[in-house]
Structure 1
């Protein structure tokens, strides 16, 4: 099995990671009640190296407070996604039903705000309490429009994750077309792009964000992130017989070899990135007919944010212990929470 190198002419950022940030985040997760300091879950979060991800994918964030805020969101998300992993080696009898009857239903209810949260409403589970706290902090920092948008993108991630977990639980390989439609949401892909835009001061209600071309770019970037993850997780997916992967779904639907499916997904990723760059290059001529002058700076920031996200994503896979030679069957970072 050989995975060709991805095309990416976007320059990498030179970043300096705070050496204490990772353990500070682990202590925060332990204080929230997500895990104990020496648990497998804590070691998995260590291997993901969330501060490194933030530094590489969001180099424009200069405020340590903003980086810390995003790191806390990513940590909550990492632990949440672990719960969708039905290939964790645990006894599977009744696992999915138990999961849906407790954790997932409560958090989907919080994100959909249906029924609405009551003032002072208490939640017994640490993940639920922290989700409510992070949503409220999001509103305090960035306003209700961003809280609502983050809630919607996380809700789509949760519901897509439920679908993937169910498919894996039943050993059902999805059709590629369906998988492609959901992969831009599953495992937080849209939520990641939304958080990056939020932290960099993009107006959640900006008119340009509702333009079909701009919406399509967000779709491409989220799908790019999901498919790049699938390529880097393929060895684990094959080992765990995980059916929800773009490569595995493509091979299943089109009856091609594994290497042919890998090549097809790599070509798609390269095509998504080329499309983003081509649309950006066309903006000076196209944009004057579609966007207000006062939105120009926000649009420039929008493209910069998403390009850094795409570049940083690739760089992170190269150096993160979670992906760079740290995994082996039965090892300390097996299984993978994001694929």
Structure 2
């Protein structure tokens, strides 16, 4: 492997689950089963190091849960391409998007996918069915709700792009966490990594501070790796473009500030992790596992795009 260049600071170890290739094979088998055909499906299932993404995020999980994470990555990339990044704005695009979102919401609400559904709808149905099969006791309501929030945030982004507007920085950072699916990722992590936090800890403002910092790190990393392709595609939903617009900076200045934002996110994570009790948190094993799982997520955000053909071509 050639030496990779990381675009964001990453002090965390490069760890990967040994079952990444097998998980990618599982995703290809499910893709064939649900009817994912054509160039887009083949590219995602075979050409973007699909299994490695989940393997980097979840280096210590069980194989069957890793496979669910890999299916989610495949769904996200394909759905985002079809209904966001590469959507054509001709005609009544908003009606088409809302209709597709309505079908997704039916699956989230409990309707079983069937053979007549779009392959992506069938893939989402398979993901949720696998979660239920593997862990019948897992409450997927938060996961389903966050996928719904992702749809809403995506429509907001599409509306902005259709009007050729660049958002202000504060608005962008709030919405980017959602339409990037970082909020979905956290709920998926509860299943894949068997995370456990009581409700008081889960909603503690300091835990939420870390959640937000890690989400921002992942979003900014993605934006830096995607910048060239998104400029070519005319997509302004990128931290560098937002910073240029907000402060009148050139690209190097904006990129440097974006990296500093990543450094700040890492410092927040490290500070809370090293002295959680100082903030009134009980540093038990559940909290330690929860905080520690974020190291793999940030490592993946920094490393997978440097290894994936997806970021050497187009898309995000």
Q: TM-score, normalised by structure 1?
A: 0.82
Aligned CA distance change for structure 1 residues 204 and 127 (closer, same or farther; 3 Å): farther
Matched residue, 1:58: 58
- Asked if 1:28 corresponds to 2:30, the answer is yes
Matched residue, 1:236: 229
Aligned CA distance change for structure 1 residues 213 and 30 (closer, same or farther; 3 Å): same
Aligned CA distance change for structure 1 residues 138 and 234 (closer, same or farther; 3 Å): same
Point out the structure with the larger helix share. Answer: 2
| Residue 185 (structure 2) aligned to one of 169, 180, 192 | 192
- Count of paired positions: 311
For the residue of structure 1 that corresponds to 2:196, the secondary structure is coil
Aligned CA distance change for structure 1 residues 13 and 51 (closer, same or farther; 3 Å): same
Matched residue, 2:251: 258
1:199-236 CA-to-partner distances (Å, cap 9, x unmatched) read 22123654311111111211111121111100100000
Matched residue, 2:91: 94
For the residue of structure 2 that corresponds to 1:83, the secondary structure is helix
CA RMSD of aligned residues (A): 2.6
Q: How big is the shift at 1:77? A: 2.0
1:83-114 CA-to-partner distances (Å, cap 9, x unmatched) read 233546xx531262243242122213543x3x
For the residue of structure 2 that corresponds to 1:213, the secondary structure is helix
Distance 2:6 2:66 in 1: 32
- Asked if 1:277 corresponds to 2:275, the answer is no
Distance 1:46 1:298 in 2: 36
More displaced, 224-233 or 185-194?
Answer: 185-194
- What are the equivalent positions in structure 2 for 1:1-339 lying under 5 Å apart? 5-13=7-15, 15-16=17-18, 18-33=20-35, 35-36=36-37, 38-61=38-61, 63-87=62-86, 92-94=89-91, 96-111=93-108, 113=109, 117=110, 124-142=117-135, 146-203=139-196, 205-283=198-276, 285-286=277-278, 289-291=280-282, 296-323=284-311, 326-327=312-313, 334=314, 336=315, 338=316
For the residue of structure 2 that corresponds to 1:174, the secondary structure is coil
Q: TM-score, normalised by structure 2?
A: 0.88
For the residue of structure 1 that corresponds to 2:235, the secondary structure is coil
1:184-208 CA-to-partner distances (Å, cap 9, x unmatched) read 1113111112212322212365431
Question: Is the CA contact 2:166–2:245 (under 8 Å) kept in the aligned structure 1?
Answer: yes
